[in-house]
Amino acid sequence: MRIIAGTYRGKLLAAPDGQQTRPTTGRMRERIFSMLQHGRYPPLSGARVADLYAGTGALGLEAISRGAAHATFVEKSSGSLKALKENINAVQATDCTKIISSRVTDILVTKQPFSHIFMDPPYGQGLIRPTLDSLLDRGWVGKDTVIIAELQKKDILDLPSQLAVIDDRSQGIQRIVFIGMA
């Protein structure tokens, strides 16, 4: 697995041993970041992004590689945290990243919302709605925030009333949904 484009293009990313993580494929990351270049989404240049259920950190590190100013990663798995730290060090991004070792639904209040929130929870565990509720309750989502959620194609998307789907795309068994304020 590699960073696709930008400053860290071609850098290899470490992954934890075993099958506990399901990193977003390079093809899907390319699709996500191509879509983010359209004018309807906030620009990545100088952006403050969050990578939830971060795993290897591929989405947040790809955002930094493409010009984001800061990425906050939220992950609870010790194996994933080890790989995430290794990947941040490999691209020398410690000064523009923050790692929160926590369940995503237990995140703390933030003073400033994020412009982009990537979330790739384990499939089929019903984590999308509780995660979105936590993000809204704790100030992570602002009026211009775009949330990019990866889920299984067959998963039912239950959104809080404050949020609406901007775009919904499928590829194989994966589905990417872009969500913003209603």
Interval 104-156: pLDDT, tens: 999 999 999 999 999 999 988 999 999 999 999 999 999 999 999 999 998 88
Task: Read off the pTM.
Answer: 0.95
Burial class (CB in 10 A: 0-12, 13-18, 19+), 111: exposed
pLDDT at 27: 82
Q: What domains, with CATH codes, occur in the chain?
A: 26-181 (3.40.50.150)
Residue type at 111? K
Q: What are 54-66's pLDDT values in tens digits?
A: 999 999 999 999 9
